[in-house]
Structure 1
Amino acid sequence: MMSAMSKYDVLVVGAGVLGLSTAYHIKRENPERSILVLDKLGGPGQGNSAKSVGAFRNVFSSRTNFLLADSTIDFFTHVQEDLGHDLGLVFHGYLWLLSGRQYRRQEENFKEMSRRGVELRTWEREDLRRMIPDLVTEFEEGDKEAEVMGLEPVERGLQGVKCGSIDADRLVRFYEEEFKRLGGEVRYNVEVKRLILKPERELGLPGEPFVWQDASVKGVETVRGEEIYADRVVVAVGAWANTLLNPIGLDAFMRPKKRQVFVFKDERLERLFHSEGFNKEGVVPLLILPKAGILIKPEVSEGALWIECADNLGRPFKLEDDPQPELTYYTGNLYHVVVKYLPCFRDVQPVNMWAGQYALNSIDKTPYVFEEAGMIYVGAGSGSGLMKCDALGRIAAALYAGEKEATLYGGRAFRVSDLSVKERRVERETFVL
């Protein structure tokens, strides 16, 4: 039984994929340190990690995003193929369906990505018609619906090869199991109420810390009134970060926004699902339609297709503990675009749906890892936290150790301060359709 006041070397708040990756890498590099992970939910990755579509890609124009994702994907492969942990890893690829205008606008990006080592394949319209017979690549002249919605014909497809899906639940459980195997401790159903801010030199006066005192985060208080202290506190709670950081005047550099997933499994979609020639699984890649960034992901484990669309303008920033999907968002909105490009979806209803939240950094859409007032913050994943999680955990562990560079999986070096606030050095992501 824990005492009412406990002390650890490191306390990690959040048992999602970022919190557990960070805890694992700190423990791996510091096996003698006592490390505790807390989460308000009942198990690992039960928040927004559990609601992720589990897709990953290394196709980014930004060198920073590429390094974070590419090294993490390499680690996923190592865990499944070398260590024998089945993560449900499938390299089905991503396929951006592009109009001629979109392709020309991004052509220099594609060349630069290829020079960097991103494996890309280009498919012409004739290839796409043959390989995905359900896909409409051109609209008839005078098609009023296509005209009203601003839909463009598909001229080319750009396939990212080192892209695919992973089972998010298996991934977080891998990190949890390895962390615990090293001697780490995890406590679930423990909600943190606040971060405890104390002066470095306490005087025992009411109102401390005062502005003239050096203060830092020393621990947390739970909703049950338990105080847990640590030499270093790590906050990795995703969309909930502002609830802990705002009260002590620190910025999480993100705002939560709802994202929804719709699941389809119907015999009318079988031919689309089994589109061959793109990968060894003989399934359609994750498709990104030319309009609105609507994506359609093959879920190989269940023979289903998942649809998601990150709507921005019109979707409020709002923290929701239990966000609910809106069927009308699909039937009255996305559906009209989907059926124009893929008529096989006509009159097919979703068999399941759910909603989660992005911790969205609207400025550069790149995560933050920094230390402030004795607290390490890992967050603002902006929807790509899972595909960058291992790199972010290693960078946070390097920050904890006071190192200037982190070594990502595979040996590539990464400047720790690049993801900080004061010395931030990230490139603008320009591969945005």
Structure 2
Amino acid sequence: MMSAMSKYDVLVVGAGVLGLSTAYHIKRENPERSILVLDKLGGPGQGNSAKSVGAFRNVFSSRTNFLLADSTIDFFTHVQEDLGHDLGLVFHGYLWLLSGRQYRRQEENFKEMSRRGVELRTWEREDLRRMIPDLVTEFEEGDEEAEVMGLEPVERGLQGVKCGSIDADRLVRFYEEEFRRLGGEVRYNVEVKRLILKPERELGLPGEPFVWQDASVKGVETVRGEEIYADRVVVAVGAWANTLLNPIGLDAFMRPKKRQVFVFKDERLERLFHSEGFNKEGVVPLLILPKAGILIKPEVSEGALWIECADNLGRPFKLEDDPQPELTYYTGNLYHVVVKYLPCFRDVQPVNMWAGQYALNSIDKTPYVFEEAGMIYVGAGSGSGLMKCDALGRIAAALYAGEKEATLYGGRAFRVSDLSVKERRVERETFVL
């Protein structure tokens, strides 16, 4: 049991994938520093990291998003293939099913991505019919359901090759184990109540800090009354960031929004699951339907298909400690689109479902890493935090060290201030369907 007041070099709040990646990289570069990670839950990645579908891609129009994701995917590969840690890494690919209109609108993006080094494959309608016989690529003339829902025929498929899935739990445990191996300390079941804001020169007067005093975040107070101090505090709590930053007047640049996953495993889906010719696993890639961005992911470890759809308009921004899935969101909503393109899902019920939350940056959907008042903030992952986690951890470690550039895995340089507030330099992501 720690004393009521403790002091560390670095205190990281949040043991999700971003918090543990950041803690690991700071410790790796500063082995002599004392670093503590706190989390209110009982183990690593038990919040929204555990509820992630674990999908990753490097298919982005934005150079920033590409660098963050591509280098992180390379690190995943290094950990599994070179270091021998089984992360459940599977390169099954992503397959965007596109109407002619959608393909033409994005064609310049596809060319630019290819020039940048993104490996893409284009499949014609005839290829898709042959390789995914369960897929409906054209609707009959006068199909009222398709017309009412605004469904378009599938003309082409665009496959991202360096895309796939990872076991999120194994990934966070890798970071935690490596952090501990280096001498880092982790405490679970410790909920942070507030950030402690103090003046640089304390006068011992009630009401400090005053507006004329230079103040900074010096530590945290837990719900049990412990005060833990550090030379630098890192906040990486995902969807919960506003609960800590709002009270001291700082902006987390994100709002939480519920996302839901529905799991299907049925003999009627076997042929779809085992669609061959796209990858060495002989499974269907992660499919993105032309309507509403509905995605269907193969979960190779269990022979199942997972369905998710990020609904925006109509879904409130709301923080929920224990978000619950809504069966009617699938049966009364997504189902009608899914069965038009993939009739094999007709009358198939999900065998499992759950809900988590995105820390959604609605402006540019790109994460933030910045320092303010002695606190480093890593967050606003917007649903892609896992696939960018290693790069973000390295950028946060470089910020901690006062460096202007971070070296991402593989040697590529990244300007630290690009993800900041005051000197932010990120491109608008235009590959949005």
* TM-score under structure 2 length normalisation: 1.00
CA distance, structure 2, for counterparts of residue 430 and residue 318 of structure 1? 26
Percent identity between the aligned chains? 100
Q: Deviations over 1:31-76 (max 9, x none)?
A: 0000000000000000000000000000000000000000000000
Q: CA deviation at 1:78?
A: 0.0
Q: Kindly indicate whether residue 296 of structure 2 is the aligned counterpart of residue 293 of structure 1.
A: no
CA distance, structure 2, for counterparts of residue 327 and residue 264 of structure 1? 13
CA distance, structure 2, for counterparts of residue 383 and residue 293 of structure 1? 14
2:398 alignment partner, SS class: helix
Q: Deviations over 1:292-340 (max 9, x none)?
A: 0000000000000000000000000000000000000000000000000
Q: CA deviation at 1:80?
A: 0.0
Q: Report the aligned-residue RMSD.
A: 0.1
The aligned counterpart of 1:396 is 396
Q: CA deviation at 1:249?
A: 0.1
Q: Which consecutive residues of structure 1, in runs of 5 or more, have no partner in the other structure? A: none
The aligned counterpart of 1:362 is 362
Q: Deviations over 1:101-141 (max 9, x none)?
A: 00000000000000000000000000000000000000000
Q: CA deviation at 1:344?
A: 0.0
1:28 alignment partner, SS class: helix
Q: How does 1:189-228 map to 2 (within 5 A)?
A: 189-228=189-228
1:426 alignment partner, SS class: coil
CA distance, structure 2, for counterparts of residue 247 and residue 410 of structure 1? 39
CA distance, structure 2, for counterparts of residue 333 and residue 215 of structure 1? 50
Q: CA deviation at 1:190?
A: 0.1
Q: Deviations over 1:263-294 (max 9, x none)?
A: 00000000000000000000000000000000
Q: Deviations over 1:202-227 (max 9, x none)?
A: 00000000000000000000000000
CA distance, structure 2, for counterparts of residue 232 and residue 185 of structure 1? 15
The aligned counterpart of 2:47 is 47
Q: How does 1:316-331 map to 2 (within 5 A)?
A: 316-331=316-331
CA distance, structure 2, for counterparts of residue 408 and residue 113 of structure 1? 20
Q: CA deviation at 1:158?
A: 0.0
Q: CA deviation at 1:29?
A: 0.0
Q: Deviations over 1:158-215 (max 9, x none)?
A: 0000000000000000000000000000000000000000000000000000000000
CA distance, structure 2, for counterparts of residue 286 and residue 40 of structure 1? 33
2:229 alignment partner, SS class: strand
CA distance, structure 2, for counterparts of residue 106 and residue 297 of structure 1? 23
CA distance, structure 1, for counterparts of residue 373 and residue 291 of structure 2? 44
Q: CA deviation at 1:343?
A: 0.0
Q: CA deviation at 1:156?
A: 0.0
CA distance, structure 1, for counterparts of residue 34 and residue 214 of structure 2? 25
Q: CA deviation at 1:247?
A: 0.1
2:329 alignment partner, SS class: helix
CA distance, structure 2, for counterparts of residue 12 and residue 127 of structure 1? 50
Q: Kindly indicate whether residue 50 of structure 2 is the aligned counterpart of residue 65 of structure 1.
A: no
CA distance, structure 1, for counterparts of residue 6 and residue 84 of structure 2? 37
Q: How does 1:128-147 map to 2 (within 5 A)?
A: 128-147=128-147
Q: Which consecutive residues of structure 2, in runs of 5 or more, have no partner in the other structure? A: none
2:42 alignment partner, SS class: coil
CA distance, structure 1, for counterparts of residue 114 and residue 272 of structure 2? 28
1:158 alignment partner, SS class: strand
Q: How does 1:245-256 map to 2 (within 5 A)?
A: 245-256=245-256
CA distance, structure 2, for counterparts of residue 108 and residue 59 of structure 1? 13
2:197 alignment partner, SS class: strand
2:134 alignment partner, SS class: coil
1:50 alignment partner, SS class: helix
Q: CA deviation at 1:79?
A: 0.0
Q: CA deviation at 1:10?
A: 0.0
2:316 alignment partner, SS class: coil
CA distance, structure 2, for counterparts of residue 144 and residue 37 of structure 1? 56
CA distance, structure 2, for counterparts of residue 2 and residue 336 of structure 1? 55
CA distance, structure 1, for counterparts of residue 358 and residue 349 of structure 2? 25
CA distance, structure 1, for counterparts of residue 302 and residue 189 of structure 2? 31
Q: CA deviation at 1:419?
A: 0.0
The aligned counterpart of 2:38 is 38
1:272 alignment partner, SS class: helix
CA distance, structure 1, for counterparts of residue 226 and residue 30 of structure 2? 26
Q: CA deviation at 1:96?
A: 0.0
CA distance, structure 2, for counterparts of residue 169 and residue 204 of structure 1? 46
CA distance, structure 2, for counterparts of residue 199 and residue 230 of structure 1? 14
Q: CA deviation at 1:364?
A: 0.1
Q: Deviations over 1:69-105 (max 9, x none)?
A: 0000000000000000000000000000000000000
CA distance, structure 2, for counterparts of residue 32 and residue 371 of structure 1? 22
Q: CA deviation at 1:410?
A: 0.0
CA distance, structure 2, for counterparts of residue 206 and residue 181 of structure 1? 43
CA distance, structure 2, for counterparts of residue 55 and residue 42 of structure 1? 24
CA distance, structure 2, for counterparts of residue 226 and residue 184 of structure 1? 20
Aligned residues: 433
Q: CA deviation at 1:154?
A: 0.0
CA distance, structure 1, for counterparts of residue 200 and residue 264 of structure 2? 56
Q: CA deviation at 1:13?
A: 0.0
* TM-score under structure 1 length normalisation: 1.00
